[in-house]
Copies of this chain bind each other. A is one copy, B any other.
Amino acid sequence: MASLSDYIESYLKLLLSSVPDDWVEIRRRDLAERFRCAPSQISYVLTTRFNIERGYVVESRRGGGGYIRIFRLGAAPESDALEIVRGAVGDSIDRKAADDLIARLAELGALSAHDAAFVRAAVLEGDDGRQPELERIVRARVLRATLLFVLTQSTTE
Instruction: Identify the A interface with B (CB < 8 A).
Output: 1-6, 22-23, 25, 52, 57-59, 64-65, 67, 69, 71, 73, 91, 113-114, 117-123, 125-126, 134, 137-138, 141-142, 144-146, 148-150, 152-153, 156
Chain B residues, CB < 8 A from A2? 65, 67
Known: A1-B25, A113-B71, A153-B118. Is A125-B137 also a contact (CB below 8 A)?
A: no
CB distance from A93 to the nearest CB of B (A): 13
Docked-complex contact A125 and B141, CB < 8 angstroms: yes
Chain B residues, CB < 8 A from A119? 145, 149
CB distance from A37 to the nearest CB of B (A): 13
Q: Which of B22, B91, B114, B122 contacts A145 (CB 8 A)?
A: B122
